[in-house]
Amino acid sequence: MNQPIRTRVVVVGAGPAGLLLTHLLDRAGIDTVLLENRSPDYVLGRIRAGVLESSSVDLLTEVGLGDRIHAEGDEHRGIYLHWPGEKHHLDFVDHVGRSVWIYGQTEVTKDLMAARERAGQQSYYEVADVTLHDVDTDRPAVSFTDADGTPRRVEAEAVAGCDGFHGPSRGALPDDVRRTWERTYPYAWLGVLADVAPSTDELIYSWHPDGFALHSMRSATVSRLYLQVRPDEDLAQWPDDRVWEALATRLGHGEDGWTLQSGPITEKSVLPMRSFVATPMRHGRLFLAGDAAHIVPPAGAKGLNLAIADVCLLARALTAWLVDGSPGLAESYSDDALRRVWRCTHFSWWMTSMLHTTGDPFDEQLQLSQLRWVTTSEAAAAGLAENYAGLPIGF
Ligand code: APR
Ligand code: PHB
């Protein structure tokens, strides 16, 4: 084993949570070491969500990462809610004065990786055997094997577990401390990426007796679309023609002259769906952020935004503690972050429950009643808009 590497904060995981945290800490003059078990190309190649809340865009802009979002992203005022024979635009700006931005998580990650390069801080990719040690002492450490096979150890004042749902950080909370809450759903999403201009100016969330569908997008020439399917769905049963046919039916092709343009599908996958929260998000000198602590189902596009909100709170807390010597925000980090986590967990569950068919005719009537309510009542529409466009960070 080489001499231990010393730093102030060791960050495990180079997804959006880990990368943004290192950027925020770097701006506060706090040195970090970043550990990631995949290669940079793998991290950049993952297809993820693409909606940024206005508070996420404000934060990224404030810390010097907004240029490409503003140049290449697309600002949306709201979303469409559709069910057979009805389509309503819900305008977030009218209701709550905030918009959302379409900008892929891959692009956010690219901007963050470039910022990390510029910061000149140590990052280790393709590491193995990441193990957290002594997180409930004053000298926490993380050991790992680097890409060349050399065993290493980083000693720090704090460990940030930003290693997603499958990473090791959450497991470093003792069993008698960690508590988890979970809901699995009896459906999944089949997602496709297609080389075709979006057939809509803003996202369409569609309820249909055959199942939910979503028309999203990545750019002027790339569409992202989803279909509700069974969790054990076999992709082989979904040739491209069947995908486009189901999308056309569920999204309302032909209604009021609206047409869905199809094109070559470049990626197709099934996304499982669950709600999951682990608490506390802090134990000793270990702090969890992003998917390491919580997962939301994708309806409502909260996953990335929640990761951004977590690390914003965490960077503030670590800066107050490590730079100013005030541990108060670090001590309250878990409670502070969990307030927003539970709000977004509820909103994502609520959107999911409203839009996905279960085969139960009573559920269907309740869902249609709910959809009519949010599209005709000012108060109900404002509630959806406030949650979708995003509550202020620190809510
Ligand atoms: N050692 C080091 N890194 C690890 C390990 C490990 N043992 N296990 C996982 N990782 C890395 C993953 O490879 C990934 O790059 O941790 C990173 C976690 O990143 P994400 O999964 O993107 O999670 P997060 O940064 O919290 O971002 C949340 O991502 O999954 C979406 O919907 C989610 O949009 C949300 C966002
Ligand atoms: C996406 O573009 O991938 C997307 C958009 C909205 C969602 C979920 C995913 O609610």
Distance CA 363, CA 284 (A): 45
Starting from the CA of residue 142, give the closest ligand.
1
What is the per-residue pLDDT for 47? 79
Task: Indicate whether 395 pLDDT > 60.
Answer: no
Starting from the CA of residue 160, give the closest ligand.
1
Q: Residue 392 — very low, low, confident or very high, per pLDDT cuts 50/70/90?
A: confident
Task: Indicate whether 80 pLDDT > 90.
Answer: yes
Q: Residue 394 — very low, low, confident or very high, per pLDDT cuts 50/70/90?
A: low
- Token digits of residue 241: 């023609």
Task: Indicate whether 46 pLDDT > 90.
Answer: no
Domain 5-51+105-181+275-356 matching CATH 3.50.50.60: the answer reads yes
Task: Indicate whether 251 pLDDT > 60.
Answer: yes
Query: Among the options 205, 208, 215, 294, which is catalytic?
Result: 205
- 43 Cβ below 6 A of ligand 1: yes
Distance CA 93, CA 88 (A): 15
**CA 135 to centroid of ligand 2, rounded, Å:** 36
pLDDT tens, 219-245? 999 999 999 999 999 999 999 999 999
Residues of the chain with pLDDT > 90, as a percent, come to 96
Task: Indicate whether 290 pLDDT > 70.
Answer: yes
Nearest Cα residue to atom 7 of ligand 2? 301
Residue-by-residue DSSP string for 143-204: EEE-TTS-EEEEE-SEEEE--TTTSSSGGGS-TTT-EEEEEE-S-EEEEEEESS--SSSS-E
Ordered strands of the 213-217 beta sheet: 86-91, 78-83, 204-206, 213-217, 223-229, 188-194, 265-271
Starting from the CA of residue 347, give the closest ligand.
2
Domain ranges of the chain: 5-51+105-181+275-356, 186-273+359-369
What is the per-residue pLDDT for 327? 97
Q: Residue 216 — very low, low, confident or very high, per pLDDT cuts 50/70/90?
A: very high
Q: What are phi and psi of 193, to 5 degrees?
A: -110, 130
Residues of the chain with pLDDT > 70, as a percent, come to 99
To test ligand 2's pocket by mutation, which of 46, 48, 51 has the most ligand atoms within 8 angstroms of CB? 51
Q: Residue 48 — very low, low, confident or very high, per pLDDT cuts 50/70/90?
A: confident
CATH code of 186-273+359-369, in short, is 3.30.9.10
DSSP state of 260: P
Q: What are phi and psi of 234, to 5 degrees?
A: -95, 115
- Average pLDDT of the chain is 96
Tally of CB atoms within 10 A around 155: 17
Nearest Cα residue to atom 7 of ligand 1? 167
Q: Does residue 253 have an active-site annotation?
A: no
Counting from 1 in the atom list of ligand 2, the atom nearest the Cα of 205 is 10
- 12 Cβ below 6 A of ligand 1: yes
What is the per-residue pLDDT for 1? 62
Task: Indicate whether 68 pLDDT > 80.
Answer: yes
Q: What is the rounded end-to-end Cα distance, in angstroms, of the chain?
A: 44
